[in-house]
A and B are shown apart, each in its own frame.
Chain A
Amino acid sequence: MSEIAISVDKVSKMYRLGEVGTGTLSHDLNRWWHKVKGKEDPYLLLGEENKRDSKDTNSNYVWALKDISFDVEDGQVLGIIGKNGAGKSTLLKLLSRVTAPTTGTIKAKGRIASLLEVGTGFHPELTGKENIFLNGAILGMTRPEIKRKLDEIVDFSGVARYVDTPVKRYSSGMYVRLAFAVAAFLEPEILIVDEVLAVGDAEFQKKCIGRMKDVSEGEGRTVLFVSHNLATIRSLCSHTILMENGRLSYEGDTAVAIEKYMSGNDVGDRKREVSWSGDARPSAPELAVSRIRIVNEKGDDTALLATENEVNVEIEYEVRETIKNLRVMVVLFNVEGIEVFSTSDFYFQNSSRVRTPGKYKSTCHIPSYLLNGGKYVAEIHFEIPSVKNVVSDLSLPFEISELSLNQLGVTMGKYPGGIVHPKLEWSVEQV
């Protein structure tokens, strides 16, 4: 058993919602009064589990983290996964001492450096070299230390020619490279990395990943790595913790953690379903739509979707009059509003293309390993080509939140580039 580098013991963090104003003052006075009388903070009891969409609550206090305990061994690369709002960033903030926990203790051995955001404290008027010194000092390096590494940092950033130019003259890419280079050459015993490293071009990202691997494997440092990119987590971390609603729901083997995360037994998760009944159904004289769902290959409409899942768009509707040549269309848009594809069931109905009254379900099967990670909106239209639009503009958003396989190996970006990310065959041969 190796030594413990970080020990987190029953750490909780409470946040107050709403604005700071006169109302806050009365709470503060009340809190102070309880403290004077030697009693416990009355508002600690009010804290609620952090569920952002719940409205039926009286309390303005939430626990962003509640009773988190875990140990990290020296030299371990620990992955932290969880949905947005699960408390990952709050945990990192506590570890990097940006803010203090409400209760509990964190103990660590050695210097902790976080790459929460690179380029902190850069001053536009200072030259690249001056900023390296300033930024390095902010991140906790001493002057001799920075001097020793100056050449390496400049080399790594690839802006050697501009090092005596004020950074306000830099392109944004150069700025970020320089900033990251300083952070990359920190030599802390414990490194905290958030996925904000989604910066720079592909070549630079490769450099960064290499550097992270060096740090974790070669130099045997402890790394805490937060990401949504499961492919990267899989390749870098042996051990992973899974967070849900401010609590630690699993700690251990990465494969298990990812599986648990994907199965999504989260109660707070929103179903990928819209349904209507009776007169509320979007309808035309010919038909009425009752339900649209997006499910995985198991028919589950709540589990998180990964690229390894099939995405099935199920459209249920009732045909009220015999209708000929109907097509049910799915048009898929990505988050930038770019149309990814459009498709319809036109060629999948019986050859007469007549649908008699009754209930129908058209399902569009989007194969696994086609879409990239990200948010999508499926638009559904019912049309009779060149005759009329029957029902149109129904839509259902969904998210492919995890990447099961990254064709590029690893990228520091959340997802690899491109609208789609199909699994393609390659052959490599020596010729």
Chain B
Amino acid sequence: MEQKNKDDWSIVIQPNKGLFNINFREIWSYRDLVLLLVKRDFIAFYKQTILGPLWFAIQPILTTAVYVLLFNKVAHVSTEGVPPILFQMAGITCWMYFSEVLVKTSDTFIANASIFGKVYFPRIVLPLSITMSSMIRLGIQMGLFFLVWAYYYFFTDANIHITWAAALLPVIILLMGLQALGLGIIISSLTSKYRDLKYLLTFGIQLLQFTTTVAIPLSQANGTLRSIFGYHPFTAIIETFRFGFLGSGQFYQDYFTYSVIATFTFLIIGLLIFNKIERTFMDTV
């Protein structure tokens, strides 16, 4: 009897799981929960609004207007012949998704402490669901971008053209999501005990935004600015997106490779820390 019992324990609770011991099978078994959380986020957003999901579109429109005014009308930053509205909208659409996922996932442990304190499920389910539910919003904003894009493409003689890089769109979206997710879970793990980093994030995210090519094309950056842009793992993502759909700039293969490597480094480090922290964070949060 004892012998038989030894092997078939389905749950073993120990103080220290190995660092690399991530139970992917268990996470997979909670896929329904991920989908339901995505649905919840979406429904909760538009309930009791008249315009519903349209609200997702208002924010990028207003931000684009401000950026065009600031960077292109006042500061006269060149957009390499592309209509400034399209240029800025492309950058903003990509960045908004990234920053939303980053901000929301970085708060995972603190914001959900009350749920985590009562029931067990793999904690990674929550940041995963945030990454996916933000994709719905991204979809709407992308849709808006393509509407504006179609207007310029078909009804004006603006200098835009599609290149082969447009086919990389799914890869780009995945990269944006995973990069934000990786960074987000690193921050959420580190802030479960010491909150300091949380306050850094608010202005850190603005710093991140202006050290990449959201508003200024890479070709217009020289010297120090250019190397800062180059080190930013998000630069290649925006540049590739613009190159694909606007034909501006070019495809920087080394920057792109760098971005992919950075994304997976963040993600792996994030998963490892998260996996370690999730077991006892309830004691310190």
Chain A positions within 8 Å of B1 at CB level = 1, 3
Chain A positions within 8 Å of B121 at CB level = 138, 140
Residue in B36, B43, B44, B284 whose CB lies within 8 Å of A137: B36
CB-defined interface of B28-41 with A at 8 Å, one 1/0 digit per residue? 01101100110110
Q: A138 contacts B33, CB within 8 Å?
A: yes
Give the interface segment out of A94-102, A310-318, A349-357, A391-399.
A94-102
Q: B10 contacts A108, CB within 8 Å?
A: yes
With A102-B15, A130-B40 as contacts: A139 and B9 at CB distance below 8 Å = no
Q: A126 contacts B44, CB within 8 Å?
A: yes
CB-defined interface of B2-37 with A at 8 Å, one 1/0 digit per residue? 000100111111110000000000000110110011
With A134-B36, A142-B32 as contacts: A120 and B115 at CB distance below 8 Å = yes
Give the interface segment out of B75-83, B148-156, B249-257, B275-283.
B275-283
* B117: Cβ under 8 A from any A Cβ: yes
* A51: Cβ under 8 A from any B Cβ: no
Chain B positions within 8 Å of A139 at CB level = 119
* B258: Cβ under 8 A from any A Cβ: no
Q: Write the chain A residue with the least CB distance to B33.
A: A137
Range class of the A interface residue count: 35 or more
Chain A positions within 8 Å of B12 at CB level = 105-108
Count of chain A to chain B residue pairs whose CB atoms are closer than 8 Å in the complex = 113
* A143: Cβ under 8 A from any B Cβ: yes
Q: Write the chain A residue with the least CB distance to B281.
A: A99
- Complex CA gap A392/B186 in Å reads 63
Beyond A7-B9, A28-B193, A108-B13, 10 additional contacts (C-beta under 8 Å) are A95-B13, A101-B14, A110-B10, A112-B120, A120-B114, A120-B119, A121-B115, A126-B43, A137-B32, A138-B115
* B71: Cβ under 8 A from any A Cβ: no
- Complex CA gap A379/B32 in Å reads 58
| A79-106 residues at the B interface, CB under 8 angstroms | 93-106
| A283-337 residues at the B interface, CB under 8 angstroms | none
Chain B nearest CB from A189 CB (Å) reads 8
8 pairs across A/B with beta carbons < 8 Å?
A95-B13, A96-B120, A99-B283, A100-B280, A106-B12, A120-B118, A138-B121, A139-B119
- Complex CA gap A225/B8 in Å reads 25
| B161-201 residues at the A interface, CB under 8 angstroms | 193-194
CB-defined interface of B101-117 with A at 8 Å, one 1/0 digit per residue? 00000000000001111
Chain B positions within 8 Å of A103 at CB level = 15
Chain A positions within 8 Å of B13 at CB level = 94-95, 97, 100-101, 105-108
* A20: Cβ under 8 A from any B Cβ: yes
